[in-house]
Structure 1
C-alpha cells in the first residue's frame, strides 16, 4: 500500500479523555471501557463528541502502554472520575491515512518514519490514531485510521 504522508498544522483541540496504562494484550478491553465511560459522561452532560475517537500513545512499550483515550469536544467540558478534560496542543503533525485492518498499520508507521527521515523532521515520540469508522459495522479491509506523529 502507498501512503500519502504530509505535514500539517494542528490547532488546539478540547477533548474528554481517559489517561491509563495497559499491556497491548488488554488494549481492546481498556479501549471499550474508556469509550463507554466517555460516551456516558457526554450523555449526562447532554453533549456529543465533536469528531471520531482517538488514542494517543505516549510510548510504544507493548508491556506497559501509556495511553490517552478520548473524543474531541466542541468546547471545554467538565470531567468526572477517570474522564477528564484536556486540550490537545497546537503543533505540527506528520500524518497519513491507513485503510485496512488494524494489525496491518505497521506499514503506515514505517511510511511516516521514512517520510520524516527524508523531510529531516523529528517526531516527539507521541503518536495519535484517530478511528474514522467503527469496527463493529465496517469490514476490516475498509477501516480508516488517521495516524499522526507529533513533531518536535
Structure 2
C-alpha cells in the first residue's frame, strides 16, 4: 500500500487529557470511557473539541503503554479530577493518514519512520494517533487514523 507522508510546522495545540499506563489489551475499554469523560468535561465548560480524539503514545511497551488520551481544545482550559490541561508541542510533525484496522497499522508506522530517517530528521517525544471515526461508527476497513510523529 502506498502511504502519503507529509511534514508540517505547527503551533502549540492546547488539549485536555487523561494520562494512564495500561496493557494494549485494555485499550478498547479505557479509551471509550476516557473520551466520554473528557468530552463531558469540555461541554460542561461550554466548549467543544476543535479536532478528533487522540492518543499520545510515550512508549511502545505493549504490556505497559504510557498514554495521554485526549482532545484538542481552542484555548487552555482547566482540568478536573484526572482530566488535565495539556498541549501538543509546537514544531515539525510528520504525518500519514491511515485507513483500515488498527491492528494492521505497523506497515504505516514503518513507512513513516523510514521517511523520517531518509529525510534527515529525528523523532521526538510521543507518537500521536488522531481518530477521525470509531469502530462503533464504521467497519474496521473504513477506520481513519492520522499517525503523527514529532521530529527535529
TM-score scaled to structure 2, two decimals? 0.95
Q: Which moved more, 1:67-76 or 1:34-43?
A: 34-43
In structure 1, how many angstroms separate the alpha carbons of the residues matched to 2:36 and 2:148?
A: 24
Deviations 1:8-43 (CA, angstroms, capped at 9, x unpaired):
112111111101110111111111121121012122
* DSSP-derived class of the 1:129 partner: strand
Q: Which moved more, 1:116-125 or 1:70-79?
A: 116-125
1:1-150 alignment, distance < 5 Å? 1-150=1-150
What is the alpha-carbon distance in structure 1 between the residues aligned to residue 108 and residue 35 of structure 2? 24
CA drift of 1:125 comes to 4.5
CA root-mean-square deviation: 1.1
Q: Taking structure 1 as the reference length, what is the TM-score of the superposition?
A: 0.95
Separation in structure 2 between the aligned mates of residue 3 and residue 138 of structure 1, nearest angstrom: 21
Aligned-partner Cα distance in 2 for 1:42–1:125: 26
Q: Deviations over 1:62-88 (max 9, x none)?
A: 110010000011111111001111121
| Runs of 4+ residues over 3 Å off in structure 1 | none
Give unmatched runs, 5+ long, in structure 1: none
Whole-angstrom CA distance in 2 between matches of 1:9 and 1:15:
18
Please give the alpha-carbon distance, in whole angstroms, between the structure 2 residues aligned to 1:35 and 1:70.
7
- Secondary structure in 2 aligned to 1:59? coil
